Amino acid sequence: MKKLISIQKVEDAHRNIKDFAKVTPLLFSEAFENKQGFKLILKAENLQTTNSFKIRGSSNCIINKVKATPEIKGVVTASSGNHGQAVAYVAYKLGLPAMIVMPETAPRAKINAVSGWKAKIELCGTTSGERLVRMQQIAKEEGYFVVPPYDHYDIIAGQGTIGKEILEQLPDVDVVLVPVGGGGLISGISYYIKNANPKVKVIGVEPEKSNSMYVSLEKGAITRLDKTRSIADGLLSLEPGSLTFPIVKEYVDEVITVSENEISEAVGKCIKYYKTVPEPSGAVSVAGALKGDWGAGKKVVPVVSGGNFDMSSLSAFIEA
Ligand SMILES: *Cc1c(COP(=O)(O)O)cnc(C)c1O
């Protein structure tokens, strides 16, 4: 059987995405280190193109599709958040039409961020179920390619390029922590890191009230939650993906959960010590890192997955 994910595929992805995604920096803080003992080093995907890692998976997925089927007419996805922005940006760069299906309740700022890249927006209902139906309809009527947010091997390979970069930038890293929504980000990263250097620990982090990966791992099978709630609005998926779950099960050391308070505090710490602004979803990994007892000198790298955020609400996260 053809391997659906491999080190080679992640390396191919890294070449595919180089005109779209930056190699994001690692951010260090000596002041923080002196206080805590261990070294907390941020992988700053909040500084990525369109301000989240989503550009990696979506550019890899769309480029592979265009290579295989040059005649595709456009791309479509359903997302009010970072994935929608990333797909809109990649389509804009490639000169492809894009349609992004968003909820009727989507905030102005998110609509503007997508329409800034010339994508067409269709507002549809309030539930993700309604939007997925509409997305499939558009795909059929217009002949557009559906770019899924996480459950696709090209998306997973694209997100895995973060694992490759961390090992190149910090070969003696001890622990990598990753926010978990549908699980695409952590699947790619854990697959790459565990195959390249199994000594590195990979830990997933979820909000307490949006913990579908945690629950699914405990039950040993994909488990759907009735509802999810968190300020980390990029992590509200009701269940893990069918492709991501088996990868997480095999390669991730552990999934832990953090409280809403811990997430807010982590946002504040990133601003105070690193002078960088994560969105709450992006700081969930930092919150996980702050809970751990890692030992002196250990190199702990939370992936700060995004920075798209209503800046007028920032002061609420900052304590003197
Ligand atoms: C999408 C997203 C996540 C979660 O990624 P998954 O691949 O769905 O697990 C985490 N953080 C941010 C900022 C996101 O946009």
pTM above 0.85, yes or no: yes
Predicted local distance difference test score (pLDDT) of residue 36:
83
Q: CB within 6 Å of ligand 1 — which residues?
A: 52, 54, 81-82, 150, 179-185, 234-235, 279, 281-282, 305-306
Predicted local distance difference test score (pLDDT) of residue 185:
98
Predicted local distance difference test score (pLDDT) of residue 37:
86
Please give the distance, rounded to the nearest whole angstrom, from the Cα atom of residue 185 to the centre of ligand 1: 6
Q: With a cut of 70, list the residues of the chain below it in pLDDT.
A: 1-3, 320
Predicted local distance difference test score (pLDDT) of residue 10:
98
Please give the distance, rounded to the nearest whole angstrom, from the Cα atom of residue 306 to the centre of ligand 1: 8
Tell me which of 43, 47, 53, 87 to substitute to probe ligand 1's pocket, judged by most ligand atoms within 8 Å of the beta carbon: 53
pLDDT, tens digit, for every residue of 149-170?
Answer: 999 999 999 999 999 999 999 9
Please give the distance, rounded to the nearest whole angstrom, from the Cα atom of residue 237 to the centre of ligand 1: 10
Tell me which of 24, 47, 52 to substitute to probe ligand 1's pocket, judged by most ligand atoms within 8 Å of the beta carbon: 52
Predicted local distance difference test score (pLDDT) of residue 2:
54
Placement of tokens 């390669």 in the chain? 251
Predicted local distance difference test score (pLDDT) of residue 1:
47
Predicted local distance difference test score (pLDDT) of residue 3:
65
